[in-house]
Amino acid sequence: MVTAARASCDADVLGVISRHSSVDLAATPNAPIAREDDPELWAAIAASLDDQGGRHMSGVDPGIAHKLRQKRAQERWTSEVSGLVHFGPEDPATCSDSALLLPSFAAHPPAVRSLVLGELTNAAAAMEAEEAGVINAFPLCTRLLVLCTLGDGNCLDHAASIGVWGVQDRDGELRSALLASMQDARAGPQIQARFQRHLRKVGIPEESHGAEWEREVSAPRGDDYLSDIHAFALANVLRRPLLVYGDPQAAMAGMTGVYLPLIAAGAGQACWKEPVAVLFSRSHFSLLAAVEGEGPVSPPLLALAGAGQPLLPRFLTEEEESGAPPPSLPLLVRFMACVQLAGGALAVRLGQSPRPNVLLSLLRARLLNAGAEAVQSGEVQAGSDAGQGGQVEAGTEAVKSGEGDAEASTAQGGDALSVQGAEAPSARPEGLPPLHP
C-alpha cells in the first residue's frame, strides 16, 4: 500500500525522469552526474525513495524541483490575441515532447523494473480500470500504467503538470494560469459560450447559466475540485489535447472525452500534437503513461476509446459539430496523429523523444538499489555470467556510465502542429492511415 506522501514523491520523481527538459540541472547529455561526485545527493535520493513515509520531489532535491518550477514561471506569458495564459515558447515547432513515455528498462532485469514501477504506479487503480475496459482494451495499443498523483483537490493540475514539466503543481502556477484565462475579458467569454451551449444541451435552464458559470470560475481560486470545463480551459492553457479516460460512472458525470485547444488554435497559436492522458476514477485524476519500447508497435499507440465507447471532443461550437458524420473526426486528425485500428476505432501515435542523461541520472540511485534488492531477495543471482544476473551487472554499469538512455526515434519538432494559417480540413479527411495486425 502506497501512502499519500509516498505517492506524491513517486509522481514527482517519475515526472522528472520522463521529461525532456531544457533546464540545466548540473548535468548535460554529454556529462552525466557521477555518483562519486556527490555521494550526499545520491544518499539523499536513495533515502527519500526508500523511506516508507515518503518525501516529495522537493525533499529529494529541492534545487531540481525549484529550478523546474522557476523555469516554468519564467516562461509564463499571456496571448495578446486570445487572452489565454501559456507557458514555454510561442512557437513549439522545435520542441519534441513525450509526456506519456517513461524511459526504457531494457538495460535492467525484470526484477528492477518491477521494483521501480511498483513504487511509481498505482497497480490497484490500473487493475480496476482494465477490468472495466477503460484502458488496455486494444491488443495493438501500448499498455498504459496509472501513475501515482497527489490527491488534494488539485489532482487535475498535478497530473497535467507532472506530464508536461515533471513536477506537481505545488506552487499553484498552473491553477493560477487556469483562473486568469477563465477570467480574461477575451478568453473568458469564449470558454463561457461553449460552457453555456453544453448546459443547454443537457437541459439546464437559461436562468441558471450565469450562476453555474460563476461557480466554475470561482473554483480555481481555492482548493475546490475542478470539472470538465476546467479540463477544456486547461487544454487551451497547455496548448495540447487533454484526454480523460474513465468508467461509465465518470462518463455519466461528464468528465471523459477529448479536450482540444480550440481557442488557442483559433487565435493562431501553435499547439503540440502530443496529448496528456489522465484517468478519472473515484473522483481522482491520475496521469497515464507507458514505458518506452514496451508494446506491440512502435511508435506507441494510444486508443481513443474507453469502456467500449469512443472518446469524443468536448465543448464544441455548433459549427465545429456540423459536417458529415462523424463530425469530430476532422478535429481529431487536425490536432493529433490519428490512425485507424482494425474494427474502426481511432488511436493516436505518440512521439518518442531524446532524453538527456540527467533524467536517467536522477533515477540512478533507485535503479542501483533496485538491482541490489533483487539480488538480496534471490530474484536474480549476483555475479552470474548469464541470464538476469548478468543483466543486473550490465544494467548497473550502464546506469553508472550514463549509457542507459533510450535511443531517440523521432526528430525534434515531429510532435508539434502549427495550426496558424493551416487550411481548413475537409468534413471527412481522406487518407486516414489504417493500422492492421
Lowest mean pLDDT among 54-58, 61-65, 148-152, 190-194: 54-58
Domain extent at residue 50: 4-435
Alpha-carbon dihedral of residues 93, 305, 175, 192, nearest 10 degrees?
Answer: 100
Question: What average pLDDT score do residues 321-333 get?
Answer: 81
pTM for the complete prediction? 0.74
Confidence of residue 59 (pLDDT cuts 50, 70, 90): very low
DSSP 17-73: HT----S--S-BTTBPPPGGG-HHHHHHHHHHHH-TT---HHHH-HHHHHHHHHHHH
Cell of 135: 484502458
218: left (phi over 0), alpha (psi -120 to 50) or beta: alpha
Number of domains in the chain: 1
In Å, how far are 44, 46, 225, 296, 345 from 342, measured between CA atoms? 49, 45, 38, 14, 7
Each residue's pLDDT tens digit, 84-140? 999 988 765 434 455 577 777 887 788 888 887 887 789 999 999 999 999 999 999
Structure confidence at residue 292 (pLDDT): 83
Structure confidence at residue 104 (pLDDT): 79
The single residue listed with the C-alpha cell 535511443 is 407
Structure confidence at residue 65 (pLDDT): 65
Structure confidence at residue 333 (pLDDT): 93
Each residue's pLDDT tens digit, 288-306? 988 888 889 888 899 999 8
Structure confidence at residue 184 (pLDDT): 98
Backbone φ and ψ for 163, nearest 5 degrees, come out as: -65, -30
Residue 419's closest CA among 302, 282, 267? Answer: 267
Cell of 399: 546506469
Question: What average pLDDT score do residues 321-341 get?
Answer: 85
Contact (CB, 8 A) for 233 and 262: no
